[in-house]
Chains A and B, each alone.
Chain A
Amino acid sequence: MNITFEHKLFDNRKRNTSEFLEISKVLRQDIIKSLTLAASGHSGGPLGISDIIAVLYFGGYMKYHSDDWQWAGRDRFLFSGGHMVPVQYSALARAGFFPVEELATLRKFGSRLQGHPGYVDRLPGIESSTGSLGHGISIAVGMAISDLLVDKNRRKVFCVVGDGELEEGSCWEAAMAASHHKLHNLCVIIDNNDCQIDGRVKDVMSVYPLNEKFSAFGFEVIEIDGNDYSQIISAFDKFEQNQTNGINKPMAIVAKTIMGKCVSFMEDDYHWHGNPPKPEQAIKALEDLDKIC
């Protein structure tokens, strides 16, 4: 199987939903390709969150300069669950942070594309190492405190947290601190695919009800279908309005997603949490993705 990454870059601006379909298709193709080449890694989660990542990076909601990634005015994004990073690598490459060909080096010796993101590798666009579950949301709180309360600027922080990840108690310490310090510049996106390694989240250790928990912890909560562009867009629009309308709460977007979304044999199957496709499966997966648009 000959795997190549076509040179297609996207800019960051307001778009209509059909354009996001094309972008997320490329992100999903990249995930399948890079994981197949790596012969290890997590397929299901990145495929499920691809629509949200497409809107976040290419819908004009996050400020960044891909040619000057440490630009002091940038908004920041991080996956609290570092295993989700293949889709972020793809988005960063497609936004021009680093060459698209580098996606072929995922998880390889000497690569900047570590299995879980490594800050020390200085891959443009990676804001922190994450991988031990439950850390990223606290890091995001630290970043949001720095922006809103120390530097008093208008930067925003976005953080995707897994639903299973919320079983880590420190996530709730972070949630408490976010509302205590009124971090309205913090947007936590809960990737609610109800899958974790051992099975359904509700069976392994239920974290539900999510809306009520985050509300009780002082968040403004929006529940959306995380694979529906119009709902994703309206959630991020609301977050953007919160920056100026005097809301002094952090936002939690509970995004119901489908693990393995758009790849028929992976959809909603928790066995695809931590496995890459084999080459013959990758061919089938790419065929599925071709049907999207």
Chain B
Amino acid sequence: MQKYENYGSKPTRQGFGEALLEMGKIYDNLVVLGADVSGSVLTSYFRDAYPERFFSIGIAEQNATTIAAGLALSGKKAVFSGYSAFVALRNADQLRISVCYNNVDVLIGGGHAGVTVGPDGATHQSLEEVSFLRTLPNMKLVIPCDYWQTKKATAALLKAGGPSYLRFGRPSVPMFTTEDTPFEIGKADVYREGNDVALIACGHLVWPAILAAEELEKRHGIKARVINNHTVKPIDVVTITNAANECGAIVTAEEHQIFGGMGSAVAEVVVKNCPVPMEFLGMKDTFGQSGEPEELLERYHLNWESIYNLALKAIERKKSKNVSYLSPIDYDVEFKD
């Protein structure tokens, strides 16, 4: 179990940008490609320090992804970063064949992910890419929870090599891991122990999961296990199976569509190894809209209160053992009305 304490906030993208800057010193074969948003995803730090290893490719994500593969085929560690809305799906074919089939050292930094990109609206709120990325053979997919974890994940993925995707966000979010918190690709972190329900989250929703667990204990004496499932692929089968076996009920939470995301990946493990009732928190088959991050998280129920409520529901289902109690996937009725 890892300790946690909220001690301020920073954007996850800052962890990415600073890590690249540091890694540029360690790897003289690290090359970074820009797609006209270097100042947003903070590859600008690397660009300014190592201009001879930074190449502007312009607004051409397909080309940039494939150029990254060409660099990697030439012995480079290639990083290409842009908005997650445009560097995972527009270039899907390039990722599939030139990066993953070639199985080369390309790290894609998918920034500004999720609804928390805010006022830019639905076009820029990437909420679907995890479903595709996790089907790609050879791909590693990490969605870190805060600044420090993003920094560590960037370094870990570059060290590991091969095709990888790091999904991170734009706004300042709570920091609760530290420079000393261990990070291992494919090893989920447990922040709170408990056997009543497991709250499995990734990215920006890990902190709300912790808050939900604290409230569950305070109000009901419920002990919730909180798991930061930062690596969606390769997924931590052992930690998830143990959680299913020992807690008997699971809630997943992510800033992504409920179809095909991290929760679905967890469900695949749970259904195979130890079926238990599960509830899924995420975007319910709908697009986002303009608004401040906090307003949008509230509107789409991506907050600790929803995790709390779903936890109670999952525990109820565990106790009732009544199959007819299984909920249909609840679509975003509020929005469609």
Contact of A119 among B53, B56, B73, B74 (CB under 8 A): B73
Chain B CB within 10 A, most for which of A131, A138, A142, A149: A142
Q: How many A-B residue pairs have CB under 8 A?
A: 113
Is A170 in contact with B101, judged by CB distance below 8 angstroms? no
Q: Which residues of chain A come closer than 8 Å to B101, judged between CB atoms?
A: 118-120, 129
Q: Which of B66-118 contact A (CB under 8 A)?
A: 66-76, 78, 93-94, 96-98, 101-104
Interface-lining segment among B57-65, B148-156, B275-283, B301-309? B57-65
Verify if B31 is at the interface (C-beta below 8 Å from A).
Answer: yes
Is A174 in contact with B63, judged by CB distance below 8 angstroms? yes
Q: Which residues of chain B come closer than 8 Å to A143, judged between CB atoms?
A: 70-71, 73-74
Q: With contacts A118-B101, A135-B97, A138-B98 known, is A146 near B76, CB below 8 A?
A: yes
Q: Which residues of chain B come closer than 8 Å to A147, judged between CB atoms?
A: 74
Nearest B-chain residue to A155, judged by Cβ = B74
Is B60 in contact with A170, judged by CB distance below 8 angstroms? yes
Verify if A140 is at the interface (C-beta below 8 Å from B).
Answer: yes
Verify if A106 is at the interface (C-beta below 8 Å from B).
Answer: no
Chain B CB within 10 A, most for which of A146, A176, A177: A146
Chain A CB within 10 A, most for which of B63, B96, B97: B63
Size class of the B contact interface (CB-based, 8 Å)? 20 to 34
Verify if B55 is at the interface (C-beta below 8 Å from A).
Answer: yes
Verify if A65 is at the interface (C-beta below 8 Å from B).
Answer: no
Is B74 in contact with A146, judged by CB distance below 8 angstroms? yes
Q: With contacts A128-B98, A173-B63, A177-B63 known, is A146 near B58, CB below 8 A?
A: no
Q: With contacts A129-B98, A129-B102 known, is A139 near B60, CB below 8 A?
A: no
Contact of A142 among B29, B52, B68 (CB under 8 A): B68
Q: With contacts A120-B101, A129-B98, A135-B98 known, is A170 near B71, CB below 8 A?
A: no
How long is the Cα–Cα vector from A128 to B66 in the complex, in angstroms?
11
A-B CB contact pairs (8 Å), 30 listed: A119-B101, A119-B104, A120-B103, A128-B69, A132-B93, A135-B69, A135-B94, A138-B62, A138-B69, A141-B66, A142-B67, A142-B70, A142-B73, A143-B71, A144-B70, A145-B55, A145-B70, A149-B52, A149-B55, A150-B29, A150-B71, A151-B74, A170-B66, A173-B60, A173-B62, A174-B66, A174-B67, A177-B63, A180-B58, A181-B55
* Sample of 18 further A-B pairs with CB below 8 A, known A132-B96, A134-B62: A119-B73, A128-B70, A128-B73, A129-B101, A135-B66, A135-B94, A138-B63, A140-B70, A142-B66, A142-B67, A142-B73, A143-B70, A145-B55, A146-B70, A146-B71, A173-B57, A177-B60, A180-B58
Chain B residues proximal to chain A, CB less than 8 Å? 29, 31, 52-53, 55-58, 60, 62-63, 65-76, 78, 93-94, 96-98, 101-104
